[in-house]
Amino acid sequence: MRYYYTADAIRDAEAPLLAALPDGGLMRRAAFGLATAIARELGTVTARSVCAVVGSGDNGGDALWAATFLRRRGARATAILLNPERAHQKALAAFLRSGGRVVESVPVATDVVIDGVVGISGSGPLRPAAAEVFDAVEHAGIPVVAVDLPSGVDVHTGAAEGPHVTPTLTVTFGGLKPVHALGDCGRVELIDIGLDLPPSDVMGLEPADVAALWPVPGPEDDKYTQGVTGVMAGSSAYPGAAVLCTGAAVAATSGMVRYAGSAGPQVLSQWPEVIATPGYATAGRVQSWVVGPGLGTDEAGAAALCFALEADVPVIVDADALTILSAHPDLVANRRAPTVLTPHAGEFARLAGSPPGDDRVADTRRLADRLGVTVLLKGNVTVVAEPGSGPVYLNVAGQSWAATAGSGDVLSGVIGALLAKGLAPGEAAAAAAFVHARAADLSALDPGPAAAPTSSSRILAHLRTALASIL
């Protein structure tokens, strides 16, 4: 599991080490890890050139010490001091003793720039002098390694409201911060500096976590104990939504999928194992309902949503059903069984009254609390929040291959299958988002290593391969 920590939590964890270690010991420990990461980035250190852009905080000290360590290994090292009077004096003295040089601008032959302008205590965009330096770096195409986080990017939200650093690599210490999931940090490398950090309530699943959660049939299982997923999706105008949603529930190892709706012939032509009926009244017993993709927002769609929400089983509400729910939020009031909403930004705005802002985690939490449901906010970073003091899951896709028509229908089917098996709603949504993103990646890379445009039907076709790579 990847845990994400607030700046205050990191500072609290650092305090015992700062008290126990010699003065500057923790900084040098972090800087040595930073220098090691930069050395890997360079490949060969001897005769390579690094330039540290140094602010007035501890991140500037980290950058100076890292440049010092690299200089001692044979690199050429320079530093730009944005505020010379407030630069970390011990780190600067060591840098100068090693043969490092203070310069006014980044040398032309520089191989890597170290961003040591601000750390987790900083806020707001880059100031003009720093912005000018990094604008020149970007135009020169020099890779940047950020210390702890890219300067100018908010540590809690990942938002950048003005000039900011866009690094190739971010090296952080002790624990990940929300910015490392929510912001543009390039690759992120975590250096262990000995902090004693408990699990946090903001986290991201890793493959082993998904494998531990995913239902795998045992010797005593049958088609009913593996979960019966009900799907109310599709219409005469959008039968494809029903095909994608039911197909995803089948691929996600549902023991049985029951489809209720007008697209039964199209569904059965693709998935003959599905049990299809023309309406929900004759669908039979299910252990979860997926309602909304391509359903329509007319009275028939509203009746289908009401029927599902009145049942004492988990329900995932998506697409057209979210539009209906935004006009009638009382439909989920005091509901005992789990409910999962999966809005994109526009649907979120209809539900919440405004679109998600810079702090997507806080906004998602607020909507989950207000409605008493689990909310999955779609995006390149998917945010899953439970009501109350429940955990928040962040799933970083790393690309946007899943941003294609019908992709959400596939995701809904997977979540529905996991809910039918009995997974907790937050875990079901987070695990489904993880597998969905991996399937999107695989579909874009099939049949070769070069990524190419994909589609929702291809994402669906790669669900089993994605699961196999995890399980």
394-433 pLDDT, tens digit per residue, is: 999 877 666 778 999 999 999 999 999 999 999 999 999 9
225 is annotated as contributing to ligand binding: no
CA dihedral 166, 170, 176, 182 (to 10 degrees): 20
382 is annotated as contributing to ligand binding: yes
Q: What is the pLDDT of residue 401?
A: 65
- Would you say residue 304 has pLDDT above 80? yes
218 is annotated as contributing to ligand binding: no
Q: Provide the pLDDT confidence category of residue 25 given band limits of 50, 70 and 90.
A: very high
Q: What is the pLDDT of residue 445?
A: 82
- What are the sequence ranges of the domains in the chain? 2-200, 207-470
> How far, in Å, are 230, 248, 302, 453, 467 from residue 261 at the CA level?
11, 17, 13, 31, 28
344 is annotated as contributing to ligand binding: yes
277 is annotated as contributing to ligand binding: no
201 is annotated as contributing to ligand binding: no
58 is annotated as contributing to ligand binding: yes
Q: Provide the pLDDT confidence category of residue 70 given band limits of 50, 70 and 90.
A: very high
What average pLDDT does range 97-108 have in this prediction?
A: 97
Specify the CATH superfamily of domain 2-200. Answer: YjeF N-terminal domain (3.40.50.10260)
What average pLDDT does range 456-467 have in this prediction?
A: 95
Q: What is the pLDDT of residue 375?
A: 98
252 is annotated as contributing to ligand binding: no
Q: What is the pLDDT of residue 397?
A: 84
62 is annotated as contributing to ligand binding: yes
167 is annotated as contributing to ligand binding: no
The architecture CATH gives domain 207-470: 3-Layer(aba) Sandwich (3.40)
> Which of 6, 71, 10, 66 lies closest to 38, judged by CA?
66
395 is annotated as contributing to ligand binding: no
What average pLDDT does range 367-386 have in this prediction?
A: 97
Which amino acid does the sequence have at 340?
Answer: V
174 is annotated as contributing to ligand binding: no
Residues of the chain with pLDDT > 70, as a percent, come to 99
- Would you say residue 121 has pLDDT above 90? no
443 is annotated as contributing to ligand binding: no
121 is annotated as contributing to ligand binding: yes
380 is annotated as contributing to ligand binding: yes
- Would you say residue 225 has pLDDT above 90? no
334 is annotated as contributing to ligand binding: no
